[in-house]
A = this chain, B = another copy of it.
Amino acid sequence: MDDLLNRLIQGDRRALSRAITLIESTRADHRARAVNLLAGLPDRQALRIGMSGTPGVGKSTFIEAFGTMLTEQDLRVAVLAVDPSSTRSGGSILGDKTRMEMLSRNPMAFIRPTPSNAQLGGVARRTREAIRLCEAAGYDVVLIETVGVGQSETLVAEMCDLFVLLLAPAGGDELQGVKRGIMEMADLILVNKADGDLLPTARRTVADYAGALRLLRKRPQDPEGFPKALTVSATTQDGLPKAWMEMQALTEWRREHGYFDQTRAQQARHWFMAELRAGLLAQLETPEARAHLKDLGDAVAQGDAAPAEAARDMLDWLQKTTQN
């Protein structure tokens, strides 16, 4: 265990992979080891960038280009995927590494797909903990990628320092397709594919979104001019340095004004409460508890016990069980 932690801290990618596998495990002994490992991590910080975009927007190509650019600036980059939809089909996004071919072979980068058979809540815990592991392993930037499905954006925004929305060039009508709630979470909107024939459309799209962003209520954690919309091209790499510069400027401003630490503190509190609630409810998941729960549930369904009474019985039972 100490060996794993030591190698992780030294930046060993295989140790990082093993540690993530450990935190992804649902086995009780693995979980206990994972909690110990997390408690022993050094206090290193990476910039946590959440990134959302609908399929077809060129997200993998963007991350490949953007991540490669960062490694060329001597920054170590980790990419984590949060894709609850892929878990429904039962498999991890094996395509991730294939799609990001260059980045996956880059020794300065680390790519980890969504684990298979995970639920949204489980993906949240795993991703939060994986971020901490990447930070401990000395990564400078952690990109958390999500497809725009259900609540995954909110979940990712709640664990990141910055939230970037990647969009495709589109007519004004399609602006409506981006939900207001997601717009409100964005720190930066990047309109991709701003090259060749699509360049004029991309510029118009940026102007449309810039207009829409100005209509949103000003957030205290934003300096003048943010949230911002920009054009980028993952293919020609135009706009990537500018996008990175804006991310750094925003982060710097938030650090100086205390919002960076404040947000992280809030996120940590939130995560603590989520873990605690999950831990309390986990008491119902042992085989004995499930069996007792089923009996009481049947009694309630048959009208032999009042729901409140059965709930009290179950709570008493849990208390007795933990005492022994």
Contact = CB atoms under 8 A, between A and B. Distances in A.
Interface in A293-307: 293, 296-297, 300-303, 305-307
Contact of A319 (B269, B273, B322): B322
B303 A41 contact: no
A158 to B, nearest CB: 12
A103 B35 CA distance: 61
Interface string A277-319: 1111101100000000100110011110111111110110011
Contacts of A274: 307
A323 interface: yes
B276 A315 contact: yes
Contacts of A39: 305-306, 308-309
A256 interface: no
Contact of A310 (B34, B128, B272): B272
Contacts of A323: 322-323
Tell me the number of copies of this protein.
2
Contacts of A275: 307-308, 310-311
A322 B280 CA distance: 14
Nearest to A279: B315
A308 B37 CA distance: 10
Most chain B beta-carbon contacts within 10 A, residue among A128, A268, A303 = A268
B284 A300 contact: no
A265 interface: yes
Contacts of A271: 300, 307
Contacts of A276: 284, 293, 310-311, 314-315
B284 A283 contact: no
A254 interface: no
A320 to B, nearest CB: 10
A319 B279 CA distance: 12
A132 interface: yes
A266 interface: yes
Contacts of A318: 280
Contacts of A175: none
B268 A300 contact: yes
A238 interface: no
A138 to B, nearest CB: 18
B301 A269 contact: yes
Given A269-B300, A275-B310, A276-B284, 20 more contacts: A35-B308, A38-B309, A128-B307, A129-B308, A132-B306, A265-B303, A266-B301, A268-B307, A271-B300, A272-B297, A272-B300, A272-B310, A274-B307, A275-B308, A276-B293, A278-B311, A279-B314, A280-B315, A280-B318, A322-B322
26 contacts: A34-B308, A35-B309, A38-B306, A38-B308, A39-B306, A129-B308, A132-B306, A265-B301, A266-B301, A268-B300, A269-B300, A269-B301, A271-B300, A271-B307, A272-B296, A272-B307, A273-B297, A274-B307, A275-B307, A277-B281, A279-B312, A280-B280, A280-B284, A280-B315, A319-B322, A323-B323
